[in-house]
Amino acid sequence: MDFTDRRVVITGAAGVIGGWIAGAFARAGARLCLSDIRAEALGGRIAELGRDPETILLHATDLMEESSVDELVELVRRHWGAPDIVVNNAGVYPRGTRLVDLPLAEWDRIMGVNVRASFLVSRGMARLMIASGIGGTIIMIGSGAARQMRATSVAYCTSKTAVERLAKGLALELAPHRIRVNVVEPGFAPGSTASPLPEDYVAKMLARIPLGRTSGPDDASSAVLYLCSSVAGFITGAVLSVDGGNSIGTFEPSPG
């Protein structure tokens, strides 16, 4: 797919899935604005993309702070006027604590990064699109956890359910402005430094995936590019699972 000179904002761009999405858009010719609280890691991401650093906008965004999100939006306005595509990829996946033991500060962090920030970024960027008359696209990165509650990960599951409802609400309200909003649910992709996972948990999760592997670089990123392309021009408010069947239901491999 060709995204030459399309202006793409990606939050959580220093992460595993964020990096894959950034790479896919870079190869398709897009102009990038990469956002992540890990400023040093963002510099490394540019080197991986093999692009001229002068052509990429960077912002060390603290998604828990409204003023920092406002700075990201202003950066985009100042350099581009408005984005064509926004990918709300940033998220945290803490696990291992039951709700009765979960500190309020941790609940607020999960909801703040996964839900509140998606609202703030989408609101700010949508305002730029509307002001510029751009029929853009907003993507939320969801999770099958929105439909499968998991003990010790209830706050995360709740946040991802909220993200899907947020996306559908935005899709309704932004449709008159020709702004489409959709959700991509990536498959299990271990390796995040922000939310590290123990080896036994990774092995257990892998055994549950019907198609027998974890998510790779081309899986979720291809779905994102598809939903942002003209081919998907009549799709809004949709949720696309790209998880090897992991969210279908309980799966147990055949013995032998």
Residue of 93, 156, 201, 226 marked active site: 156
The alpha-helical segments, DSSP class H, found in the chain are 16-27, 39-49, 66-80, 104-111, 117-132, 154-174, 199-207, 219-228
Residue linked to tokens 């019907």:
210
Helix axes 104-111, 154-174, angle to 10 degrees: 30
Sheet architecture: strand order including 137-141: 57-59, 31-35, 7-11, 85-88, 137-141, 180-186, 239-242
Q: Is 201 a catalytic residue?
A: no
Helix axes 117-132, 154-174, angle to 10 degrees: 10
- 3-class SS of residue 149: coil
**What's the farthest any 2 CA atoms get from each other in the chain?**
61
Report the alpha-carbon distance of residue 85 to residue 134 in Å, rounded: 10
- 3-class SS of residue 84: coil
The answer to whether the CB of 91 falls within 8 A of the CB of 12 is: yes
The answer to whether the CB of 207 falls within 8 A of the CB of 200 is: no
Active site residues: 156
